[in-house]
C-alpha cells in the first residue's frame, strides 16, 4: 500500500518541506513547486501523463489551503499584509477560481495545462525581474480593474494549481507595492484562491472513475496529507527568511525558481 511505501513518502515529505518554505519566502502558495514535483513523483504510479498533471494540479491546490494559513500567520506577526488589497481582489479571485476549477479544468487536456503552466510561470519570472529595472510609477487600479485582475488570477490559478502568487506578486510590485508587502499580501490571497479552486476541482472530479490508487477524484490522498503536514513548519521558516533578505535578492530568487519550474513543465507538456 502507498501509505507504507517509503519510495513515495520520502519524496513527498521533501517536496512538502521545500514547497512550504517557498510559500513563506515568495508568497507563491507552494504550487509552483508542487505541480512539477507531484507530476514527477506520481507519474510512474498513474501512468497517464495527462491525468497525472491534473492530479498534481488539484492535489497541489488542496495543500495550499493549509500552507497559506501557516504562511499568513507568519507574515501577519510582522504586520505587512495589505488587507485592503486582499479585500479588493478576493471576490474576483473566488469567482475566477470557480470558473477555472469547474468550467475549464476538466475539459482541457493535461498537455495543454502543462504548457500553459510553463508559459505563465516563465512570463511571471520575466515580469518580476523587469519590475526591478525601474521604479514603478503607477498605483493600484480602481474597483472594476481590481475585480478583473482578481478574476484573472483566480482563473489561471485554478488551471495550473498555484496559489496565485506568480501573478499577484508581479502585479502588486508593478503597482508600487513594496516587494515584502506584496509577498505577504499574496500569501493571504492564496487562501481564497485555494478554497475556491478546491471546490471547483472537487466538482469537476466528482464522477471520475477510481483510476488512481489512494485517490478521490483528482485528489491524491497520501500526497495531500504528506505535503500538508510537512509544509506548515517550513512555511514559517520561509516567511522569516523573506523578511531577512534584501528586496533585490528576493526578486532574483523568485525569478530563478519560476524559470526552473517553467522549464520542467514545458518539457512535460511536450512529452505529454
Predicted confidence (pLDDT) per residue in 15-42, tens digit: 988 888 877 776 665 666 788 888 888 8
Residue with the bigger pLDDT between 170 and 147: it is 147
Residues 6+ apart with CB under 8 A from 252: 129
Predicted confidence (pLDDT) per residue in 84-97, tens digit: 999 999 888 888 87
C-alpha cell at 192: 481564497
Residue 72 contacts residue 191 (beta carbons within 8 Å): yes
Predicted confidence (pLDDT) per residue in 103-142, tens digit: 565 566 666 767 776 777 777 677 666 655 545 557 888 8
Q: Which pLDDT belongs to residue 129?
A: 67
Highest mean pLDDT pick, 42-46, 85-89, 261-265: 85-89
CA 190 remoteness from chain centre: 8
Into how many domains does the chain fold?
1
Q: Can you tell me the distance from the alpha carbon of 87 to that of 147, in angstroms, rounded to the nearest whole number?
A: 10
Question: Running DSSP on this structure, what letter comes out for residue 2?
Answer: G
Domain of 181 in residue numbering reads as 2-271
pLDDT at 72 over 50: yes
Average pLDDT over residues 78-85: 88
Amino acid at each position: 500500500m502507498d501509505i507504507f511505501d517509503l519510495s513515495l513518502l520520502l519524496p513527498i515529505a521533501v517536496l512538502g518541506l521545500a514547497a512550504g518554505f517557498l510559500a513563506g519566502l515568495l508568497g507563491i502558495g507552494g504550487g509552483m513547486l508542487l505541480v512539477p514535483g507531484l507530476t514527477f513523483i506520481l507519474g510512474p504510479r498513474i501512468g497517464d501523463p495527462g491525468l497525472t498533471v491534473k492530479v498534481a494540479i488539484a492535489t497541489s491546490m488542496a495543500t495550499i489551503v493549509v500552507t497559506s494559513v501557516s504562511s499568513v500567520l507568519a507574515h501577519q506577526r510582522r504586520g505587512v499584509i495589505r488587507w485592503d488589497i486582499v479585500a479588493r481582489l478576493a471576490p474576483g479571485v473566488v469567482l475566477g477560481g470557480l470558473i477555472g476549477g469547474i468550467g475549464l479544468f476538466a475539459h482541457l487536456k493535461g498537455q495543454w495545462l502543462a504548457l500553459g503552466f510553463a508559459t505563465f510561470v516563465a512570463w511571471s519570472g520575466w515580469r518580476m525581474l523587469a519590475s526591478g529595472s525601474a521604479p514603478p510609477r503607477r498605483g493600484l487600479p480602481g474597483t472594476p480593474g481590481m475585480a478583473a485582475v482578481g478574476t484573472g488570477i483566480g482563473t489561471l490559478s485554478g488551471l495550473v494549481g498555484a496559489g496565485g502568487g506568480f501573478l499577484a506578486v508581479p502585479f502588486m510590485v508593478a503597482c508600487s507595492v513594496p516587494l515584502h508587502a506584496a509577498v505577504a499580501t499574496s500569501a493571504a490571497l492564496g487562501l481564497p484562491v485555494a478554497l475556491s479552486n478546491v471546490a471547483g476541482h472537487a466538482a469537476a472530479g466528482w464522477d471520475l472513475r477510481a483510476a488512481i490508487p489512494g485517490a478521490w477524484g483528482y485528489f491524491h490522498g497520501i500526497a495531500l496529507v504528506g505535503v500538508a503536514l510537512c509544509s506548515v513548519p517550513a512555511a514559517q521558516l520561509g516567511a522569516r527568511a523573506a523578511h531577512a533578505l534584501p528586496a533585490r535578492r528576493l526578486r532574483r530568487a523568485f525569478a530563478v525558481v519560476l524559470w526552473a519550474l517553467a522549464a520542467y513543465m514545458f518539457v512535460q507538456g511536450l512529452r505529454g
